[in-house]
Structure 1
């Protein structure tokens, strides 16, 4: 695992988008794993800008999103299907045949999870998986005590997750669906590369636990230490509780990958 610290949220979004764009330009038929949430809105806005102003072409990409609420149809404005159409798919002209999200209305949630993993494998596996970090340490919707070998499946959302996601539900956590379909931790770890993007002081304690604490099923993001090509990007607010800053700063001076990343901000 490598860590690169950004000055603020704006720089974090710009760098995350630059790394996604670099992947797309290097491999135009990339299979991308995508995330949702407030942090990602700025990332996708920057990708749309690169598409419109610099000709970034996403038309050959295939995408798989991490999760979707159970019980929300794709037409619901609060669904992640609608979120992705609004923030990325429609603005860059990505066809529906190339975009995949779990079906929260599936008759069999178990079969939907099994089929989702199979579809990822049939596409050749995910080249780059974009992740956010939940305040309770989840990646995707892999809540505390999720198996670190888990597959795509239905889960029950933790109360703190429903509270965190209440914004799209009139601020009422009780209106947030109590269940969701998510890629499993094991599914995520099969990605060829992983990019974890973390923003804001509310994530500072958890980021410190992920980077400096033990690997535990209580914090699904800690499983990322098992991956051999994981990059963590964090802004200064999210990194404010880290005690390993001297080591991170030293690595940025001497690690070739991290030195290259710095050039993307020039």
Structure 2
């Protein structure tokens, strides 16, 4: 796990976009794991800007969403397929049919989850997975208590997550109680995981993710077991880290040939 502490969103987005750009240079048909929420928005802005400048071509890329609400009608503005379309897909040249998400309106939810796992596997697996971090340490919608070996499945949201997401809906009562999410075991199979967290409200979760034990109470801590995880945070999110100075020193002195 590499921990990179940067001044703010602009620098974090630039570094994450560098990783995507390097991947697409090596593998134009790469598979991206796409997160929603506020954390990845600056990254999508930077990727769109680079695409507009002719630096990035997404025409052969496939994208897989991390999660989706259960019970929202197709086309609902807060369904994550629609959010990804607005925030990312419509701003670059990725073919619409190349963007995949779990089907939260399927009549057979377990079958839909199995089909999504099959689709990820048949694509060759996720090359680079973007991740945000919940204030309770969740990634995707893997809430505290999630199995560290879990696969795509239905989950019940805790009330804190529903309150955190109510700002995207008209009210808390409109936020669904259930979601489909890639499991922690699914996320661990990505070749490169890039997690972004900013702000003092994420400081405790960042500490538990990086310096706490690997435990279901902080689902993101499973990334300690990932063979290639990059944790990009700002100074506020890093404020509870005991080894912050070491992380800064390591990044400042990493070999010039070593990418993120």
1:94 aligns with 2:126: no
SS of structure 1 residue aligned to 2:58: coil
Structure 1: 5+ residue stretches without partners: 262-266
SS of structure 1 residue aligned to 2:88: helix
Give the match for residue 230 of structure 1.
229
Give the match for residue 59 of structure 1.
59
1:68 aligns with 2:71: no
SS of structure 2 residue aligned to 1:256: coil
Give the match for residue 115 of structure 2.
115
1:131 aligns with 2:131: yes
Give the match for residue 13 of structure 1.
13
SS of structure 2 residue aligned to 1:54: coil
Take 2:64 and 2:256, find their aligned partners in 1: how far apart are those partners? Answer: 26
Provide the TM-score with structure 1 as the length reference: 0.94
Q: Deviations over 1:90-145 (max 9, x none)?
A: 11122122110111101111111111111100001111111110111011000010
Structure 2: 5+ residue stretches without partners: none
Take 1:245 and 1:258, find their aligned partners in 2: how far apart are those partners? Answer: 23
Following superposition, the deviation at residue 55 of structure 1 comes to 3.5
Runs of 4 or more above 4 Å deviation: 257-261
Give the match for residue 149 of structure 1.
149
Give the match for residue 213 of structure 2.
214
Number of matched pairs? 260
Provide the TM-score with structure 2 as the length reference: 0.96
Take 1:23 and 1:94, find their aligned partners in 2: how far apart are those partners? Answer: 15
Give the match for residue 46 of structure 1.
46
Following superposition, the deviation at residue 250 of structure 1 comes to 2.5
Q: Deviations over 1:204-258 (max 9, x none)?
A: 1110111111110111100011111111110111111111112212312333379
Tell me if structure 1 keeps the 8 A contact 2:162–2:175.
yes
What is the root-mean-square deviation in Å for CA atoms of aligned residues? 1.4
Following superposition, the deviation at residue 165 of structure 1 comes to 0.6
